[in-house]
Amino acid sequence: MSPHELLADIHALEQELLEFERRYGIRSETFYAAYVSGEEPEDDSWVLDFLAWASVYRTLLDRRKEYASAVLAQATQKRPERQPGADTEPYQWRRDDAYEERFARYDQKLGSGAADPE
């Protein structure tokens, strides 16, 4: 999956988790820690929901790892080398007459104690 597809999947999973969190009044991280430690639901009718909730949360954790790996792989791909004869010089900032005039006015106002040079 591409990073874009993984991110879309992550957002969808987060929406599913938000529905469980609102229904049961507990954050998914807290629920999952209790679930994997073996805590039983208060009500037997919640068992299937808790199973689904834990599955969605595990999938989210997996997708986040996949996303991080995909973004890192994309960022570390070798960049194409510059073609011979291409402009390889760094940009040189050039001062023009208008800049020099604005700078002189700014400098004068600073010397006079003016707060705003414009």
Asked whether residue 32 is domain-assigned, the answer is yes
Helix (H, G, I), strand (E, B) or coil at 91: coil
Phi-psi group of 63: left, alpha or beta (phi > 0 → left; psi -120 to 50 → alpha; rest → beta):
alpha
Side chain identity, residue 86: A
**Residue 53: pLDDT above 90?**
yes
Which residues constitute the domain of residue 65? 3-75
To the question of pTM greater than 0.75 for the whole model, the response is no
Asked whether residue 96 is domain-assigned, the answer is no
Asked whether residue 43 is domain-assigned, the answer is yes
Which of 32-36, 42-46, 86-90, 112-116 is predicted most confidently? 32-36
Asked whether residue 84 is domain-assigned, the answer is no
> Using CA atoms, how far apart are residues 34 and 95, in angstroms rounded to an integer?
65
Asked whether residue 10 is domain-assigned, the answer is yes
pLDDT of 33-43, one tens digit each? 999 999 988 88
Segment 92-97 shows an average pLDDT of 61
Asked whether residue 47 is domain-assigned, the answer is yes
Helix (H, G, I), strand (E, B) or coil at 39: coil
> Using CA atoms, how far apart are residues 6 and 8, in angstroms rounded to an integer?
5
Asked whether residue 114 is domain-assigned, the answer is no
> Using CA atoms, how far apart are residues 23 and 8, in angstroms rounded to an integer?
23
- 42 vs 93, residue with greater confidence: 42
| Number of structural domains in the chain | 1
